Each structure stands twice: as C-alpha cells, then as structure tokens.
Amino acid sequence: MPTPILTRLTSPSTLVHLVSVSALAVAAVVVGTAEDAHGATAEPTTAAAAAPGTLVYVKDFNVWAARTDGTDARRITSDGSVAHPYLSPSQADTGAVVVAHDERIVRMDAFGHVLTVLDPPGLLNSAGHLMDGTPSSVAISPNGALVAYTQVESGCPVGVDCDTRFATGYTAADHLTDPAPYGVTYGNDPSWLGNDRTVQGGGAIPDVRVHVLGQPSPPRWFADSQIENPGQELTDPTVSRNGTWVSAVRDTGPNTSVLWAKADGDLVNAPELWCSTSPEPVAEPAFSADSTTLAWVVGTQGIYMERDLENCAQPALVVPGGREPSFSAAPFSTVDPYQPPKANAPRSTGAPSVAGKARVGKRLSARTGTWTDAASYAFTWLRGGKAIKGAKGSTYKLGRKDAGKKIAVRVTATGPGGSASATSKAVKVKR
C-alpha cells in the first residue's frame, strides 16, 4: 500500500502535491520534497534523531512502549485480546501510563506494573441519559494528576433525535473523584493543553473546542469550514505543547485525512491550514512532547510519523501494525527500576519445646513453636548444648549416653527470605 501523499496548503486555493512513494519497509525513513508558494523546491530532509521522551501505543490488543522513533519497543501488557483489548493509552511526564480496559481505567508504570485500577463514574449525555462502560478515550495530564475520559453511546432516546452522543469527564489519576468540579462536557477525544485545559472534538457538533477545567461547556475554537471549503467534521484534535501546531482528522468514513494547521499559540482565532494527507482511512494524530513530530495511524498499516512539519515531507512508517500513539516527555528506559519487596526471614514468635517422658528408652518429640514467614523446618537435637551426631529428625529416642544429661532441640525455620533458628528449653533425662 502506498505511503500517504501530503498536500501543502498555503491558502485554500493553492494546492501543491508531493510525489507518492512505494510502501515502506519496517522503520524505514522516507523523505520527500515540498514546493513553497513561489515554486521553489525545499531540500530533502535527512533522517532526524529521535525526539526525547517515550512513545506508547497499542499493538496486538496490548500496550507497548518505545523510543519516540519506535525503536527498542517492548510490550508492557500481556492479557489484551480481541474480546478484551487495551484502548487509548496515554503517558504522563512522570512515566505513568493510563489505558482503558474492560470498563476500567488502568494506571501502570512504563513496564506494566499496575498502580491503580479505576472504575470511572458514568456521565450524562446531552439527552440526559447516563452512559457507562469502557471509555472510548482516556488521556492523563502531563503532571500525572488527572485523567480525562470519554463515554459514548449511539441510540434513539425518547423525545430526542437518534444520534451518537458523547460526554467527557475528569478524575484524579490515583483514586476516583467526582467529575463535576472539573466540568463535564459533551465533547470527545480529549487531549491536554498543559495541566488545566483540554482540547476536544465537539462531539455531535463537528468542531474543535478548548475546555478550561472547572468552567462550563467549552466554547468553539474553530470549525473546518473556517480553514477549508467545504467544511467537514473534525475529530481527534490535538495541539503541540509549544502551541504552534494543531492537528485533527478531517471527514469520516474511508476518505478521512490528517491535517495540521498553524495556531502559533492563538486558541481563539482559527489556525492557518498547513498540510493534509491524501484521503484514506487515518486516525489518532499525536504530537511528540518537543512539538517536532506528528504521528498518526493509516488503516491497518500502522503508525506513521512526520518529522518535517513545516515542509510537509513524506512521512515514515515507524510502527507497523501499531495504533493509538501517545507521546510524553518521560525519559525512555530499558531498565525496569521496579524491585519486588524483599521477603522477610522467618522470625520465632513462640519458642520450640520438647514433648515426651525424659527417660532412657523413651522417645522425645520436637514442637516447632510459632514462626512468621516460615515454609519448612529442620531439627537438631542437643546433648549438653552440643549437637548429637545423626539426630536430625523431629523425634529422638533417648539412649544410655543421655542418662543424667540435658536434652534440647534446635529448630531451624526456612522461608523465601532466609532461615533462622531457635532452641527449646532443655529437659533432664532420668537415670
């Protein structure tokens, strides 16, 4: 399948197409050229170094983490399946990852160690109907404190039109909180602008909106008709951290395209449309944390990346088969810092003892006493405080050498954390 063709749009009436290239090999970097409005040809860009930070995404129904150029990828979950897929991963700059799974929001570290599991409260949609279930989209704030999540439902409630309706709410990342104080919107596909705002699709209204936490319904930022004619529905909006770029998916169905436009920090006026991919099934644009790279998904091919946003160079297929990319500034590490808690060595909480009649020819039995963290026990019988050769069982038959002597048992308890010993009180053997 060919690589997406990019279109540079310097104005709605000026379209300059790039040459399409053939399908890419895994992780290949393909570079195109672009003409500016004066007909000059930009020099091809060279392969760029990976942007700092980490890329998380879904592949084969599980969550993966990699460097921002897709290298050193590792799977961090293993229980995803067709029936129970992981959806919409998002990573904070702290390294924490959140993802939707089986009606819950799972928060984990970058190696898949689960930190919290949240069952977010349902949200009322614009028809007044409570929506619940697996969130269609989740996004964690850069500081890792909050999670935005979207619920969606298609239906025909009594008294209102049939439609697909959305609602987006917020909760603390490490425990459930009431979404009301942050404001519940009817938007969808939230992505963060700092730690106190999100950019959202308009839900049933095909535009882009900016929501300030705690404020009522977010005002419109722009609609597609303000930057291109004829206007189409815009979904999956996202803004680069430096505020220069905004990207979204244009139109619905099989002829969607990814566009990016110059906002230059202006979140009030419509941005200037800059580039667009050729019409084909695309989704889920995401900017790298340093604002230099835009990633998106093309059909079943995988995750493409554009590293020359100004010149609309041809993108590269970076993660074949990947979906739902999300970048963070969290440093990528190949070493798991998690260390399981060290097991405790056994500890005696009740002394061992000796049972039975202390007479020659009789048999004594060892009682282990009580221990913490013990899995097994060993025994050593003592005569006058010294080990008796070969006396290693839980019982000991007294012989002539024991007459008039003091006999005790030493119990050694062993567990995952090591071993420890304790000795019983001695008993004197009658002659």
pLDDT of residue 33: 29
pLDDT of residue 308: 94
Mean pLDDT across the chain, nearest whole number?
Answer: 87
Half-sphere exposure of 13 (CA within 13 A, CB side): 0
- Mean pLDDT in residue range 146-174: 91
Q: Show the tokens assigned to 209.
A: 């909106």
More confident residue, 29 or 294: 294
pTM: 0.72
Q: Is the pLDDT of residue 183 over 50?
A: yes
Predicted confidence (pLDDT) per residue in 261-274, tens digit: 999 999 999 999 99
More confident residue, 393 or 49: 393
Instruction: Find the range with the poorest average confidence among 122-131, 186-195, 400-409.
Output: 122-131
pLDDT of residue 164: 87
pLDDT of residue 227: 86
pLDDT of residue 7: 55
> Based on the number of CB atoms within 10 Å of its own CB, is 89 exposed (0-12), middle (13-18) or buried (19 or more)?
buried
- Mean pLDDT in residue range 175-199: 95
Half-sphere exposure of 103 (CA within 13 A, CB side): 6
Q: Is the pLDDT of residue 328 over 70?
A: yes
pLDDT of residue 50: 76
pLDDT band at 39 (very low <50, low <70, confident <90, very high): very low
Q: Is the pLDDT of residue 11 over 60?
A: no
Torsion from C-alpha of 152, 158, 162, 166, nearest 10 degrees: -20
pLDDT of residue 335: 87
Q: Which of 162, 83, 164, 100 is closest to 136 using CA atoms?
A: 100
pLDDT band at 188 (very low <50, low <70, confident <90, very high): very high
More confident residue, 24 or 250: 250
Q: Is the pLDDT of residue 151 over 60?
A: yes
Domain range summary for the chain, segments of one domain joined by + = 6-328, 347-428
pLDDT band at 8 (very low <50, low <70, confident <90, very high): low
Taking the mean position of all CA atoms in its chain, how far away is CA 39? 44
pLDDT of residue 250: 92
More confident residue, 360 or 206: 360
pLDDT of residue 3: 53
Torsion from C-alpha of 77, 82, 88, 91, nearest 10 degrees: 10
- Mean pLDDT in residue range 312-335: 95
Q: Which of 25, 51, 42, 132 is closest to 331 using CA atoms?
A: 51
Right CATH for 6-328 from 2.120.10.30, 2.40.70.10, 3.30.540.10, 1.10.760.10: 2.120.10.30
Distance CA 236, CA 208 (A): 9
Percent of the chain with pLDDT over 90: 73
Residue 268: CB atoms within 10 A of its CB come to: 9
How would you list the strands of the sheet with 207-212, edge to edge? 188-193, 197-201, 207-212, 220-223
pLDDT of residue 203: 66
Domain 347-428 has what CATH class?
A: mainly beta
pLDDT of residue 405: 95
pLDDT band at 232 (very low <50, low <70, confident <90, very high): confident
Q: Which residues lie across from 54 on neighbouring strands? A: 328
Instruction: Find the range with the poorest average confidence among 155-169, 369-383, 403-417.
Output: 155-169
Torsion from C-alpha of 9, 13, 18, 23, nearest 10 degrees: 80
pLDDT of residue 414: 96
Output b/e per residue, 382-395; b: 16+ Cβ within 10 A. bbeeeebeebeeee
